[in-house]
Amino acid sequence: MENQQPAPAKRTRKTSLFAKPAPKEESLTTTVTETVALDADAPIKRAPMRQPMRDEDPRVRAERRAAELMGNLGSLDRGTDNFATPEPPPGWSYEWKMKSVLGQEDPTYQTQLAHTGWEAVPTNRHPEMMPIGEKYATIERKGMILMERPAVITEEVKRLDLRNARDQVRQKEQQLSQAPDGTMTRDHAQVKPKIKKGFEAMPIPE
């Protein structure tokens, strides 16, 4: 037999398919991360939620405003009452009270009003009675101010005023019927004072 020499050993070289692309993978990851960070800082643009409102047709606005004012034109032919009081809340009464005369206020009178329960009506309750856009805390006109107090107190004060007025008339009637000391009485029909009572409207100056 012939001597057979062993075949030389083959050298095998293991090559990884992913060894070289690793830097590219790292670079790709870094690029994506930077891009996301930049997009997060950028402002988000959103589509408008609704279309901008169009200007109202001037003719439509004029018709609506005319309808609002039409109710106030009926009183022009008979004049305007500057001191007409609005409807007070239930259980309350409104009255115009003096605040100033020729720009001067009377502290004594203001104290008397507060003592009898009168308080100023706030403007926000009747905003139509004061200029629009102005900041007024109370409702005032020509030196007068609109005030309120409970209706029960107002009725009681009216009752007391009426009683005092009748007492004054009764006292005057007694004085007319009395005669000075040392004189004849006035009980006789010819000398007895005749008192007539009546009611008539007082003229209102224009």
In a domain, 101, yes or no: yes
In a domain, 120, yes or no: yes
In a domain, 70, yes or no: no
Q: Which domain holds residue 122?
A: 92-150
In a domain, 190, yes or no: no
pLDDT in tens, the chain (206 residues): 445 555 555 555 555 444 455 454 444 444 444 444 445 555 666 666 665 566 778 888 898 888 877 766 655 555 577 888 889 999 999 999 999 998 888 999 999 999 999 999 999 899 888 887 778 899 999 899 999 999 999 999 999 999 998 898 888 877 777 777 667 676 666 667 777 777 778 777 76
Residue 94: helix, strand or coil by DSSP?
Answer: strand
The model's pTM: 0.52
In a domain, 102, yes or no: yes
* Assigned token pair, 106: 């009377």
In a domain, 6, yes or no: no
Number of domains the chain is built from? 1
Give helix then strand counts, H and E, for the chain: 4, 6
In a domain, 133, yes or no: yes
In a domain, 201, yes or no: no
